[in-house]
Amino acid sequence: MTTSLENPLRDFEVNVAGTIYVLEALRKYQPDAIVLFSSTNKVYGDLEHIRYKDTALRYVAPEFPDGFDESLGLDFRSPYGCSKGAADQYVLEYARSFGLRGLVFRHSSIFGLRQFSTVDQGWIGWFISEALRIRAQTGRGDIRIAGDGKQVRDVLFSQDLVECYFAAARCIERTAGKTYNIGGGMRNSLSLLELFRILQDMLRITINVDKGPWRAHDQKLFVADCRRAREDFGWHPSISKEEGLLKMTEWMQSRL
């Protein structure tokens, strides 16, 4: 998202134009192909209209105890949200107008092995790398964040995501032309502050949180309600956030 604010034209060319080129090629030359499109929760906007409860470690949306399902209204925000949202809608329209076997996954936070994270992309991996830096130094250090650290996402390990894609493709006659919110669900949700507590216990370090200004268009909370995926193609997350965090931390340690 941050890079889309720096170069919105490039963001458009990759996400919108790039998707159209793929869809047109398939429409003309491979109309029986299956298109699995990776969209984003950013198509739902900043979710400012949701009522939140501010607790010690996280924001809570009392009216949505299981997270947000696909009935949530679209509200594209940021160039990234607009480009992914436009591409998202083109995939659905090609399914309606041309019978292309395409579907849309609106993802929450994905993490896993071989995710080479940066400060702008892949927040789980980035903060694990910062925690490992602290451990390698004095065992006590600062991590700078945007906002108050109570913002919440549900996290999904990459192995579960692969299973999701194959399961949806196997049921393409049922899933074509549909959207699916895909994430770890409420059980695998985390705030930044909660993540830091887990990393402190896992690595036996002390993290001092240095809070900075909120990033533009950062949602206070997004958790995917994945019930439609379970009903349509029998998928649900199987790897817990704790297991996934341990796997990723061990992998990142092996690269040091």
Q: 76: how many CB neighbours lie within 10 A of its CB?
A: 18
Residues 56 and 126: beta-carbon distance below 8 Å: no
Cα 184 to Cα 131: distance, rounded to the nearest angstrom: 23
Question: Which residues, 6 or more positions from 70, have their beta carbon under 8 angstroms from its beta carbon?
Answer: 106, 179, 180, 181, 228
Cα 223 to Cα 255: distance, rounded to the nearest angstrom: 31
Chain centre distance of CA 26: 27
Please state the three-class secondary structure of 185-243 as a single string.
CHHHEEEHHHHHHHHHHHHCCEEEEEEECCCCCCCCEECECCHHHHHHHCCCCCCCHHH
Residues 74 and 42: beta-carbon distance below 8 Å: no
Task: Given the residues 21, 52, 80, 90, select the one marked as catalytic.
Answer: 80
Residues 180 and 104: beta-carbon distance below 8 Å: yes
First to last CA, the chain: 28
90 is catalytic: no
Q: Which residues are catalytic?
A: 80
